[in-house]
Structure 1
């Protein structure tokens, strides 16, 4: 076994260097955001989609930057380091989810909508009820995802600065929230997109360097890496190392829990509003397809490398040491960086992780603010006749409100595994958004009542089952481990809530007497051909 380097139990590396890297990234990216976003930020198209002027390569990079979140980097590496084979479910699930999203909804959604997911869902429906339901779902999914990013930020910075006091960790999360608000308020979608592109390049290059380094230590032999991870665990607890290579050890006899999580991960991406919104930033369907190609290549390569990082952390650092660090499982990747290259590599990788969090929270925030301002304020309250400048002003105010809520939620969820938190966001997206999107794009018989029932039914069923699950109470790893009000046996509700969403969408439609046949045909033509894309039908 390769000897272990000594690790501090409260911090990694030099706090001064770590802060310098963080500050450099913030200063450089804020400067870029200000330069690229000057002018046009008061127009709805500029604020929401950057004027739809990004080409396929740029948008593919931005999609990767938006999708490869703190859960992808910090959470998955920690899950693999702790659970081995079972932790790979997140990598595989997130990647397959992206493929499903691209195949089923990406291009038709881009052709049919304009700014938000609700543009598609309400295309042939009654605007008010559908947009309200879609906006509520979007806001909830974005909030769950924001919790994951903010929790990751708190754990990461606490680890690197040696902070153990809960108050100081809360201050760190607050600073991340303020920076998130600044990026969106200053740059809108255009500035956010450039931050995401920069972050994607930094993240993939950083992970590639670590992957090559780890494999090099084991003679570029993956089998040697896996065996060393097993040996390391066995040296501390004999007979337990083989669990890293065996499936279902984490889930034991709870096979349904495994299936439910898989359903959430595979189907959830196709309903994530902040990812789908990226397809409105390209001018043509051709560029949308080109961005898909770039995104698949980048995301696929990244997830293959997280396997090496996870097992590398298990072999070179170990679960016991990682558990002593702030952030626990989320500290696996930074701890591995310190083990490999000491203070300098750690600071660089930590800067990349910090960039990851800031870029994703900015994308989530602008999506949520666009949904509230465009769908609720403009199309529900103002009946589609709001002044564009006023609409953007409402969106900016919403950014501040969402930022404050994200800070408070991130403080409460700071000790949760970020990959798990994201899986909950995927569950809500798969239960509420995905059924409505697929029905809207591919079923002419879909009606307003079906859309509303599907959206609200999916959201409510997912939230109720999450609240009364072992993920929230009654288990040592729950959000509230000291109380027990759980009656639903699965950590993730997707196995039950996704079928409920699809069933309610079908039932509401077949029971409705609404006739939207003509509009359904128009939507079908536009979704398949892109004819008339960029505008939303008024009715």
Structure 2
């Protein structure tokens, strides 16, 4: 970036940060001492407000930066991320939204513990939720680092490092002061900004090609250097059996993972009824569906107008494709229009990262306080004490996420989110579905299901090409990549379901029929829901 771009973009960054801090300060003037206020915003949000907030929480840096970048680099194969992220919402709508709202209170562990022995189940589910949240946070911070590095010099390692640290500090402030109410309003503002920015860029791309989508695709194929292969399956996930199975693994993770994401499940507790939760999902599907259709246009637009080689030269993982596209659409480097459009898009992307990071941090800190801490000291713990622990947990989780983000800063953010989805689908989804739908499910089955999915998923990532064995790995200088797939979902998701089944059928403790009946009635009717 030339020097002319930096002041304006930094000014817009600063303006948005000031606005979000202002929202947090204003909201924090309300009493935040109660757990219901801190974790669920008092359950006062309407379906439309919560739908916008869910969309703002879900449309992350992986969507705006990562997916568009993968499409710009790999064409059709990159587009599969958009399809997977969108289809996942059907699972959420039809299987979990209303039931989770009726059974739970603040976290995923509330749903499982409703009919089990609380302590072992809460520890297992809380550990899994924090693990998934940290992986998701890493992706957002990597996106922030790539964005600001582009702004301040393209490949500045110092810029990435300080950006990651800054985002971590801001998210701790947002969560500690404002809780769910501030986080929700930040996500609503961010969703509106992101949709407006995506619509503007999509219209500009289509205008550039006179509304001719065929011309857009053909130009993208020519500029990609791959020709017609760019528009056909197989550029990234074709070839040998490993790549094909990796694609299946990714698809399973994306479609099943959303229903196990702690920060998405926690949003269903911010509305007063289960019906409102379902309506929230319908609002969010409309927004998210439109957005992912636009990411396809933006990705192919970046390939056509910026060029795949230029995108890869700016960031090998493709994370800067959209800002570069905005610069070109505005008139190119050095032009006033390019400067303004680049600055606006960069500010919106930064807003996206801050909002999503705040939501994830809140969900993970709630798991630490409400599940892990309170399960150990439940007899002596007041909810006000839980809130204090949640605020401290936000700082600790932020520190861990910052450290991991600095290691993974060269990976694509959509790919990193795919790993988080794989862990969520392996550890959280099996225990959630078994708890809601299997009458004979036991405490041992619940604990084994969580750890039976979580441990294999994490271990397989550690011994995969993601961490070592290739120039794109986190540790490129060593090689202990014994597992050939980059996404572990095809192995770890079935293991999570299998472990839950095996733990249940070998359990010596019979299921609690009365508690199951109570949970079933409550989940289906809402009777007794908080």
TM-score range, shorter chain: over 0.9
- How far apart are 1:326 and its partner, in Å? 4.6
- Residue of 250, 255, 260 corresponding to 1:271: 260
Partner of 2:401: 406
Preserved CA contact (<8 Å) 1:214 1:312: yes
| 1:322-359 deviations in Å (ceiling 9; x for gaps) | 12225750000100010101010111111110000000
Partner of 1:435: 430
Partner of 2:197: 206
- How far apart are 1:241 and its partner, in Å? 1.8
Preserved CA contact (<8 Å) 2:72 2:311: no
- How far apart are 1:476 and its partner, in Å? 2.5
Alignment of 1:341-490 (within 5 A): 341=330, 342-378=338-374, 380-383=375-378, 385-490=380-485
**C-alpha separation in 2, matches of 1:328 and 1:276:** 30
- Residue of 241, 244, 260 corresponding to 1:255: 244
| 1:97-127 deviations in Å (ceiling 9; x for gaps) | 1221221111100100000000001110010
Instruction: Please say which of residues 354-363 and 174-183 is displaced more in the overlay.
Output: 174-183
Partner of 1:245: 231
Partner SS state of residue 141, structure 1: helix
Say whether residues 1:156 and 2:147 are aligned partners. Answer: yes
Say whether residues 1:124 and 2:115 are aligned partners. Answer: yes
Runs of 4+ in 1 over 6 A off after TM superposition: none
Partner of 2:127: 136
TM-score scaled to structure 2, two decimals? 0.96
| 1:247-288 deviations in Å (ceiling 9; x for gaps) | 022122221111011111111001001001000000012211
Change over 3 Å in CA distance of 1:303–1:13 after alignment to 2:
farther
Instruction: Please say which of residues 34-43 and 322-331 is displaced more in the overlay.
Output: 322-331
| 1:468-520 deviations in Å (ceiling 9; x for gaps) | 11121112222122211011111101001100000111111111132311110
Unaligned runs of 5+ in 2: 331-337
Say whether residues 1:517 and 2:518 are aligned partners. Answer: no
Instruction: Please say which of residues 133-142 and 171-180 is displaced more in the overlay.
Output: 171-180
**C-alpha separation in 2, matches of 1:243 and 1:323:** 18
Change over 3 Å in CA distance of 1:80–1:368 after alignment to 2:
same
Unaligned runs of 5+ in 1: 1-7, 535-539
TM-score scaled to structure 1, two decimals? 0.94
- How far apart are 1:165 and its partner, in Å? 3.4
**C-alpha separation in 1, matches of 2:113 and 2:460:** 28
Preserved CA contact (<8 Å) 2:423 2:453: yes
Aligned residues: 519
**C-alpha separation in 2, matches of 1:264 and 1:85:** 19
- How far apart are 1:13 and its partner, in Å? 6.1
**C-alpha separation in 1, matches of 2:401 and 2:235:** 34
**C-alpha separation in 2, matches of 1:448 and 1:196:** 36
Partner of 2:92: 101
Change over 3 Å in CA distance of 1:509–1:212 after alignment to 2:
same
Partner of 2:29: 38
Change over 3 Å in CA distance of 1:24–1:308 after alignment to 2:
same
Preserved CA contact (<8 Å) 1:274 1:364: yes
Partner of 1:196: 187
Partner of 1:325: 314
Partner of 2:214: 223
Partner of 2:83: 92
- How far apart are 1:31 and its partner, in Å? 1.0
Preserved CA contact (<8 Å) 1:13 1:160: no
Preserved CA contact (<8 Å) 1:12 1:160: no
**C-alpha separation in 2, matches of 1:149 and 1:314:** 23
**C-alpha separation in 1, matches of 2:66 and 2:380:** 43
Partner of 1:289: 278
Change over 3 Å in CA distance of 1:12–1:60 after alignment to 2:
farther
Instruction: Please say which of residues 245-254 and 189-198 is displaced more in the overlay.
Output: 245-254
**C-alpha separation in 2, matches of 1:408 and 1:506:** 36
Over the aligned positions, Cα root-mean-square deviation in angstroms equals: 1.3
| 1:42-88 deviations in Å (ceiling 9; x for gaps) | 11111101011000000000000000010011000000000000001
**C-alpha separation in 2, matches of 1:116 and 1:467:** 27
